[in-house]
């Protein structure tokens, strides 16, 4: 199988897993850390590098700077959709109805006690709709819409639960967990990913395996520790909590292969 992997730094965990178990696949990578729309140009099913940094990253990996997606049996997209961080920022400053914190805010508002400061309410339907809109306009969706072959989209992993051992690191997630909202955020983000991506012809969304999660919206540290960098073969810094390692990559690669093996 000729497989094309397009993405940002989160493609590295899949590359590492593929090196350990290539399964006869011919893998072409079109990726760079922090990939944004300005790094690539889309022309029908063709992609080409459009920034100096993109050209340099691809050259460093020995990969072509121009692709025709019609030449591949399948495309995998890593990242390039709203992450848990985007979902948390969108919710920040509001209480989402249907979430534990939202239920608490409503209960507080219905008491006879003097009005306490509460965050404005945001309906869960509106929250999911907003996230879905971000998915529909994401770079992953734009690429998937031009691919003439099956596409599987794999989102950025949820951050490592090792962040709970680091004071002051990503306090927004500490707040979510303190209010009991972790599982709700993850569920709504996954719902939005599916709603925003799967209507595209030939596109499948691959969620992170549930048994790799922790506290609802974090990833078990064992699947994140020692994650690889995209191009130079080194590992992420020891305090990195954002990137999956080869173990998580192997789980996702196995699920990706299962999807692509399904009959028509």
Q: Are 67 and 47 in contact (CB under 8 A)?
A: yes
Percent of the chain with pLDDT over 90: 83
Question: pLDDT value at position 113?
Answer: 61
Question: pLDDT value at position 167?
Answer: 77
In this predicted model, what pLDDT tens digit does every residue of 89-120 receive, in sequence order? 999 888 899 999 877 777 777 775 655 567 78
Domains, the chain, with CATH or none: 2-261 (3.40.50)
Question: pLDDT value at position 124?
Answer: 96
Q: Which residue has the tokens 């869960």?
A: 124
- pLDDT class for 214, splitting at 50, 70, 90? very high
- Does the pLDDT of residue 232 top 80, yes or no? no
Question: pLDDT value at position 116?
Answer: 58
Average pLDDT over residues 197-224: 98
Burial of 167 per CB tally in 10 Å (0-12, 13-18, 19+): exposed
**Residues near 56 by Cβ (< 8 Å), separated by ≥ 6?**
none
Q: Are 244 and 235 in contact (CB under 8 A)?
A: no
Average pLDDT over residues 151-172: 92
Q: Are 49 and 65 in contact (CB under 8 A)?
A: yes
Question: pLDDT value at position 114?
Answer: 56
Question: pLDDT value at position 93?
Answer: 84
The 46-49 sheet, strands edge to edge = 40-43, 46-49, 66-68
Q: Which residue has the tokens 């690191």?
A: 169
Q: What is the DSSP string of 157-168?
A: PPPBGGGGGSTT
Q: φ and ψ at 257, to 5 degrees? A: -65, -35
Distance CA 219, CA 212 (A): 6
Q: Is the pTM of this model over 0.85?
A: yes
Distance CA 229, CA 7 (A): 13
């Amino acid at each position: 199988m000729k497989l094309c992997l397009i993405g940002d730094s989160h493609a590295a965990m899949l590359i590492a897993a593929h090196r350990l178990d290539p399964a006869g696949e011919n893998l072409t990578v079109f990726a760079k850390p922090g990939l944004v729309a300005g790094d690539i140009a889309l022309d029908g099913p063709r992609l080409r590098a459009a920034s100096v940094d993109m050209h340099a990253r691809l050259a460093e990996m020995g990969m072509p700077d121009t692709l025709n997606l019609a030449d591949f049996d399948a495309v995998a997209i890593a990242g390039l959709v709203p992450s848990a961080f985007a979902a948390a920022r969108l919710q920040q400053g509001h209480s989402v109805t249907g979430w534990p914190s939202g239920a608490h805010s409503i209960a507080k508002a219905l008491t006879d006690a003097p009005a306490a400061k509460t965050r404005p309410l945001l309906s869960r339907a509106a929250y999911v709709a907003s996230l879905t809109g971000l998915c529909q306009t994401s770079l992953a969706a734009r690429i998937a819409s031009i691919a003439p072959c099956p596409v599987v989209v794999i989102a950025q992993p949820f951050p490592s639960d090792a962040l709970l051992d680091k004071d002051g690191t990503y306090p927004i997630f500490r707040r979510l967990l303190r209010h009991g909202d972790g599982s709700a955020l993850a569920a709504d983000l996954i719902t939005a990913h599916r709603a925003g991506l799967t209507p595209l012809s030939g596109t499948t969304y691959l969620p992170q395996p549930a048994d790799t999660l922790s506290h609802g919206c974090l990833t078990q540290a064992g699947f994140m520790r020692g994650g690889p960098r995209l191009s130079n073969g080194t590992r992420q810094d020891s305090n990195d909590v954002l990137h999956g390692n080869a173990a998580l990559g192997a789980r996702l690669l196995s699920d990706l292969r299962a999807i692509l093996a399904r009959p028509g």
